[in-house]
Structure 1
Amino acid sequence: MTTRYARKTYRRTCICALTGLLFGVASLVIAQQKNIFTEEVYSRVEALFGKTGAADVAKWRQLVNSIENDDIDEKLYQVNRFFNRFDFVDDLRHWRQPDYWATPIEFIGTGAGDCEDYSIAKYFSLIELGIPKSQLRLMYVTALELNQPHMVLAYYPSPTSVPLVLDNINRRILPANQRRDLAPVYSFNGDGLWAAKSMGTGRKLRGSGPMKMWDDMIDRLNSVMLGDTQEQ
């Protein structure tokens, strides 16, 4: 896929509006995405990312609709496969920021993102497909062969099971105990932050910095949904 990020200049207010449309009031908005993606929304997407970006967002929506009644293994496979086709570009080059968490619309619309963007897009897509967020964790790890921080999405079939790893480096969905190239650091979702324990569930932490970052992001996006999209 051809990366389109270099050809676009975005107004912050418009990006905030689209970000709010996707994340909004977190789970409530996710559960109602089918009603959110109206012709008006697609027009906004096209204005920001062009016809190609809007067409790719439409393909995402078609995918979600087409697999909503499939079994969990198929949902994991199709979502992982869909997002892994986009180009990897680091935040500094892509967004001119050292760390930027893109919404799935921004990720798909620009045709590129980094490891957080792959993982976040998969996370929200699978929640929309009916997988409880208690079974999903965004997991920070160290990619040992690359010697760098990395993020993957972990799916837990049960609270005590070894999670399956959805990744953009190794595109096969494998149990965490078969990913010896990854060293877990911590994981989180909309419910909390966990210290990693051998890629398992780990110990829940309270009042920690990364969880506060997540909460702050959701709070900012909720304020966008209420109409606070002015430049700051």
Structure 2
Amino acid sequence: MTQKEVASTGWSRRDGYRALAGARAPWRVRLLWLALLAIPLLLSASQPLSPEDMKLVKRAEETYGPRAGKRVTSWRTLAMQNKAAGLTDRQKLEKVNQFFNQMRFIDDIKLWHKKDYWATPLEFLGAAGGDCEDFSISKYFTLLELGIPDEKMRMVYVKALDYNQFHMVVAYYETPAAVPLILDNLVGSIRPATQRADLLPIYSFNGSHLWLMKARGQGELAGQSSRLGLWTDLRNRMTSGRLARPAVNLDD
């Protein structure tokens, strides 16, 4: 995101926090990646995917290759099984966070040859990686599919003050006044915002609204989330089904 788009917001639907940018250690990425590739056969053994999900798998295979098809198979199986499992919100958060945090972190400029690109979940899994926005977007839409209400979630743009870097996470609010739980690709466990003193919120949004912050801790509704150009472009691509191809093949 450009700094021109950066306007302030808060946590607790009135709170504050910070983030850390950077990639995982290469050896750890490889181990997690091997684990992710092993998931599809284990998950899909119980029941077949729907025709709609199989179309997504086929599109991923045709656009990105067979390994991408396996990743999408595991994603769709995860969604199918957990929609029917009667899980609590916290259990859904844990499963989705753990699944996507196995993906590889890579900057947009390297992967897409663009300064800032928000990938759809299918593009993220197809490309085999992405940056913090891509992790957050995929978690957000998958949690919506699992029945987490939009009003309980926000994607929060934060800054790592110690590193002077921008980052994005997903915040879950059990109630409007609750301290949110933070889903972050850089920290494996889900923690309340009160335990994430490393994160400073700048603005937050969900599928409907955008919140800005004139002063730390004072979130202010600032209109529709469609004010964010990258968000609008993402939603348009999801509707049209357009898939971008990455500049590098992370499966090689």
State whether TM-score is above 0.5: yes
Query: Match for residue 148 of structure 2?
Result: 131
Give TM-score, length-normalised by structure 1: 0.76
Worse-matched range after superposition: 46-55 or 197-206:
197-206
Aligned partners of 1:174, 1:84: CA distance in 2, in Å?
A: 15
Query: Does 1:149 pair with 2:166?
Result: yes
Query: Match for residue 7 of structure 1?
Result: none
Query: Does 1:56 pair with 2:71?
Result: yes
State the 1:63 CA deviation.
1.0
Residue 139 of structure 1 aligns to a residue in which SS?
A: strand
Q: Deviations over 1:178-199 (max 9, x none)?
A: 1010000000011110024899
Query: Match for residue 94 of structure 1?
Result: 111
Give TM-score, length-normalised by structure 2: 0.70
CA contact (8 A) 1:91 1:99 kept: yes
Q: Deviations over 1:65-108 (max 9, x none)?
A: 22222111111001000000111000000000000000111111
State the 1:211 CA deviation.
3.2
Cα separation, partners in 2 of 1:169 and 1:50, compared to 1, 3 Å: same
From the two aligned structures, give the one with the greater helix fraction.
1
State the 1:51 CA deviation.
1.0
Larger relative contact order (CA 8 Å, sep ≥ 6): 2
Q: How large is the Cα RMSD of the aligned pairs?
A: 2.7
Residue 180 of structure 1 aligns to a residue in which SS?
A: coil
Q: 2:58 aligns with which of 11, 18, 43?
A: 43
Structure 2: segments with no counterpart, 5+ residues: 1-28, 31-48, 243-252
Query: Match for residue 13 of structure 1?
Result: none
Query: Does 1:82 pair with 2:99?
Result: yes
Aligned partners of 2:144, 2:215: CA distance in 1, in Å?
A: 24
State the 1:216 CA deviation.
4.7
Worse-matched range after superposition: 204-213 or 93-102:
204-213
Identity rate, percent: 44
Cα separation, partners in 2 of 1:218 and 1:71, compared to 1, 3 Å: same
Cα separation, partners in 2 of 1:62 and 1:209, compared to 1, 3 Å: closer
Residue 101 of structure 1 aligns to a residue in which SS?
A: coil
Worse-matched range after superposition: 147-156 or 192-201:
192-201
